[in-house]
Chains A and B, each alone.
Chain A
Amino acid sequence: MTSVQFAAASDADLAEVALTRAEYVHLVDALGREPNRLELGIVGALWSEHCSYKTSKPLLGTLPTKGPRVLQGPGENAGAVDIGNGLACVFKIESHNHPSAIEPYQGAATGVGGILRDIFTMGARPVALLDSLRFGPLDEPHQRHLFDGVVAGIGGYGNCIGIPTVGGELYFDESYRTNCLVNAMCVGIVEQGKLTLATASGPGNLVLLVGADTGRDGIHGASFASVVLDADSAARRPAVQVGNPFLEKCLMEACLELAGDPRVIAMQDLGAAGLCGSTAELAHRGGCGIEVDVARASRRETGMTPYEVMLSESQERMLIVAKPGDVRSLQEVFERWDLHSDVVAVILPEQRFIVRDGSDQVCDLPLDLLVDGAPPRGAPGPRPVGPAMVTAAGIPPAPWTPDEAILQLIGSPNLGSRESVYRRYDHQVGDATVILPGGDAALVRVSGTSLGLALATDGNSRYTALDARQGAMIAVCEAARNVVATGAKPVAVTNCLNFANPEHADVWWDLHDAIEGIGEACRALEIPVVSGNVSLYNDTGGTGIDPTVVIGMVGVIDDVAQRCTAGFRDEGDLIALVGPVEAELDGSEYQRLAHGVNAGVPPRLDVDLERRVQSFVLEAVSAGLLHSAHDCAEGGIAIAIAEACLLGDIGAWVGIDELGQGEGLIIGEAGILFGESQSRFVISFAREALVRLHELAGRHAVPFRGLGSVGGERVCVTGCIDVSLADVRRAHEGALIERD
């Protein structure tokens, strides 16, 4: 070893690499010596929460990950499921919260770039992107800056590379004022035989580093994403990477040319912790070792140290493992796309992680210790007891009449039109988007087949704030409901868990409960979790976000022509509600807007009923009985009806008596109109279908209530709501427009 050894790391040294003293002591014990500075930095990056999942891993193990369609579960760059016709759907969701909070455009852009690489690394051609975004209220200029920057960054990257952004979600809440959330999901398609893994094998095989040259951008990105933000965070802007979507497009096309090519033994993109993280994981998955020579990596700038080369998070880079005899011919494929490549590493038989700088060996660590050795973190304390629940009792009555309420809700930032956002994203490139953004789920056809993929992201943090377990279960069920509304059967889930500082007992237990909730709902609905991401430390100056579970759901419809859409269609069609009617205002959008609180218990959820309701809708759609199906979510029945009117550009009449007793109280009516009871759809259909639907509802044992009919140019609920569709549209479309 020629590197400088140092007797013991100071507190400042450890803070720089985000390791605790206890972790450092564990490292020294396991190593039997002090690490040098480079080794300490490498361990810091790989033991960061972002790379090691040291807090969440013990909990994530409880999730159901197996199923007849699962081709690849968690552990690879993305999950993969069998969608029929010999094809696999490859998908994953990932967060880019911390970088986006500091530099919204590049943070969001590189979030998109990173998730795209995760998909084409597996040999799959990306066909759709979705984004789940959360900000503080837009009344503050800084929130507008973040929101505009993030939307521009997503568009800037996705539009340039030519992958459609087909859906997602957008919420505004106080809890995100100091930590915005940017979660990006990508979905790709590959012939099953061409599925490429990131598992290195064959000692003596070489590793090519392809794509961008390595610069100083993004050093410590993984560690940065694993600590709370503070007043000095803006100074970490150099830890945010800069994206080049054009380069990624070339890299993607070249890699896709090589999908299924026998010369490619493994493919792995460079993401968190750069060359260090990718080489270590590649070798570790294959049960071998790796020796990296940093001197061989092309640099963007001079004077870079081995430490900087190993930890740089420069974007648009990829590793390819190949036999020595195949390297030259593979390089020619990249050269056709004007991509540079260097042989930077060799696979070793023994499980060691060795770094050289030319002739100097500068790092030698046991690979297992590096990748899997971070001491797992358990609960920081017992489950907090006490008055955690805010009760809804005693809140003042709502200030609005039902007419005012429906316009207030439909024009609120959380329920308003997202058209001003998604028109900035190319959502049609690829000639495959059958259901455009704005409905329950996007529907993308699978080229060369009759198949369609329904895609949705969902997560309501008001519910998880009140009850993490219940809220997480609802997130799974609602994402599934969005997919079912198109007629597609949910087949698999990816999840992004966004939480505050897990070193606080309440946050840790919320994480624990949320993962349990996801597991329970997924088991009940028989939908496996095949990939995911955890983002912790979404906390600034002691203020953390509400627990936020984002579920990415993929569903398959065998014949895309059979799809169902959310908007009412034909004058005279009947409208019905499938599912329960209860007056549950706790945790609702109405409660927040009208009463200014988020209190009580989230809506009840009966997963067995949920499953029956979803089967009912799927069967009704495939039998061609429905003209529309819309998930009844935020804003309750009234908003679901208004949305179906807006999407279909036609009015509706609904009788309140059909919804059960109004109890003669304003709050009671509001509970029925705007309460967010679960497991519900608003459907419409031709009169002739009524008998068969009744019979079908009976067979599935689901509540089925006729509500009214489609037609006219007003949205009416007898005796309480009567507004013109034009007024509803005006309120809806103005929701996100900046007011001076």
Chain B
Amino acid sequence: MLRRARGRNGFAVPPLTLARGGSPGCEMARLRTCPPHLSTLGVLMRFGIAVFPGTWSDRDCKHAVELAGHEAVMLWHKDRDLRGSDCVILPGGFAYGDYLRAGAVARFAPLMESVAAFANAGGLVWGICNGFQILCEAHLLPGALTRNTSLEFRCVPTWLRVESVDSVFTAGCARGDVLQIPISHGEGRFVADEETLAMLEREERVAFRYVRQDGSPVDGESPNGSMHDIAGIVNERRNVLGMMPHPERACELLLGSSDGMALFNNVAKLVSGNGVMPVAAVS
């Protein structure tokens, strides 16, 4: 399948505003070479953004996608149509209130039937925060997200080390890159049995790990107490990524960090680089 739309020429690269009194994280972002802006290559990707009742990062994800020069379409939880999305984002929020267990109800939404079929056929699915919780509940990713060890909600900046570049989502990063991306959750502690953890490590499916600001290991002292300090993982085929931190909140230095933009650009870069999508969208 070829790109459906080309030639949105003249789309300006968003101006980067330097934060005053910038943290070392900002400094890092400033020094890093930005990947080429995809819209300048004339490529327009379509990100489908799921909206469950209780989802609240949908608008932020749309903003980030559009800032990156791509197209966002909203996918309503009661529908089954993925509207030709190249990549489906399951955003943050409290889908259906999450009164039972985060993601436990959302996995049964009509939309999730299509998302699962899309993922199983190799389509790109990206779960962020609540989206990661939903992917685990839907068994599209292994493990589970439980209450933070502090038993409190945490909204803090975190630093993520890129552990694996063997996926569409991280291919544009270098292994060992440290990204400043905030978290905001009460149930983000990644847990799995020893066997699963060993498999994830062996197969290099840990995409991101929480580290300190200087890149050194947190050794279990992450803000949510995740096993192996895991912040994000990919599935076996590496077309499904789940992560607790919010890259859509780290796309502009005005808001403290632009490191998250790299991930949005990576997805588009690889897809456009191949010139073909892994699979046709299921509708």
Contacts and interface: CB of A to CB of B under 8 A. Distances in A.
Interface string A584-607: 000000000000000000000000
A352 interface: no
Interface string A415-444: 000000011111111111110100000000
A647 B184 CA distance: 22
Given A434-B255, A567-B21, A162 B53 contact: no
Contact of A337 (B53, B154, B246): B53
Contact of A445 (B93, B153, B254, B256): B254
A531 B234 CA distance: 50
A428 B249 contact: yes
B53 A429 contact: no
Contacts of A246: 53-54, 94, 96-99
A338 B53 contact: yes
Contacts of B251: 431
Interface in A145-173: 155, 159-162
A177 interface: no
A624 to B, nearest CB: 11
A569 B94 CA distance: 38
A65 to B, nearest CB: 33
B153 A426 contact: yes
Interface in B26-70: 53-54, 56-57, 59-60, 63-64
Interface string B71-98: 0000000000000000000001110111
A279 interface: no
A620 to B, nearest CB: 14
A626 to B, nearest CB: 10
Contact of A431 (B53, B63, B94, B96): B63
Contacts of A98: none
A244 interface: yes
Contacts of B63: 431, 447
Contacts of A369: none
Interface stretch (A48-56, A111-119, A190-198, A556-564): A556-564
Given A161-B56, A428-B255, A569 B21 contact: yes
Contacts of A247: 97
Interface residues of B, number: 33
B21 A565 contact: yes
A245 B99 CA distance: 10
Nearest to A429: B56
B156 interface: yes
A246 B99 CA distance: 9
Contact of A429 (B99, B154, B184): B184
A436 B153 contact: no
Contacts of A560: 254
Interface string B87-125: 000001110111100000000000000000000000000
B94 to A, nearest CB: 5
Given A431-B248, A560-B254, A424 B154 contact: yes
Nearest to B62: A431
B153 A155 contact: yes
B182 interface: yes
A623 to B, nearest CB: 15
A627 B20 contact: yes
Nearest to A568: B21
A110 to B, nearest CB: 16
A565 B20 contact: yes
B17 interface: yes
A10 B20 CA distance: 67
A426 B53 contact: no
B188 to A, nearest CB: 12
A648 interface: yes
Contact of B254 (A160, A244, A428, A561): A561
B198 interface: no
A249 B53 contact: yes
Interface string B137-159: 00000000000000011111000
B21 A425 contact: no
A250 interface: yes
Given A423-B154, A423-B155, A564-B20, A431 B256 contact: no
Contacts of B172: none
Nearest to B53: A250
Given A160-B97, A246-B94, A250-B53, A429 B17 contact: no
Contacts of B99: 246
A249 B56 contact: yes
B184 A648 contact: no
Contacts of B59: 430-431
Contacts of A424: 152-155
A568 B21 CA distance: 7
Contacts of A160: 54, 94, 97-98
A162 B255 contact: no
A205 interface: no
A628 interface: yes
Contacts of A159: 94, 153, 155, 184, 186
Given A155-B153, A428-B182, A429-B60, A647 B21 contact: yes
Contacts of A445: 254
Interface in B183-206: 184, 186
Given A426-B184, A565-B20, A431 B155 contact: no
A429 B21 contact: no
Contacts of B20: 563-565, 569, 627
A427 B63 CA distance: 17
A645 to B, nearest CB: 12
Contacts of B186: 159
Interface string B229-261: 000000000000000001011010011100000
Given A162-B56, A445-B254, A648-B21, A428 B64 contact: no
Nearest to B51: A253
Nearest to B96: A246
Interface of A: 155, 159-162, 244-247, 249-250, 337-338, 422-434, 436, 445, 447, 560-561, 563-565, 567-569, 627-628, 647-648
Interface of B: 17, 20-21, 53-54, 56-57, 59-60, 63-64, 92-94, 96-99, 152-156, 182, 184, 186, 246, 248-249, 251, 254-256
Given A160-B54, A247-B97, 8 more contacts: A159-B155, A244-B97, A246-B54, A560-B254, A561-B17, A561-B254, A568-B21, A648-B21
16 contacts: A246-B54, A246-B97, A246-B99, A247-B97, A422-B155, A423-B155, A425-B153, A426-B155, A429-B184, A431-B249, A431-B255, A560-B254, A563-B20, A564-B20, A565-B21, A569-B20
Nearest 6 A/B pairs, CB to CB: A162-B56, A246-B97, A431-B60, A426-B184, A569-B21, A160-B94
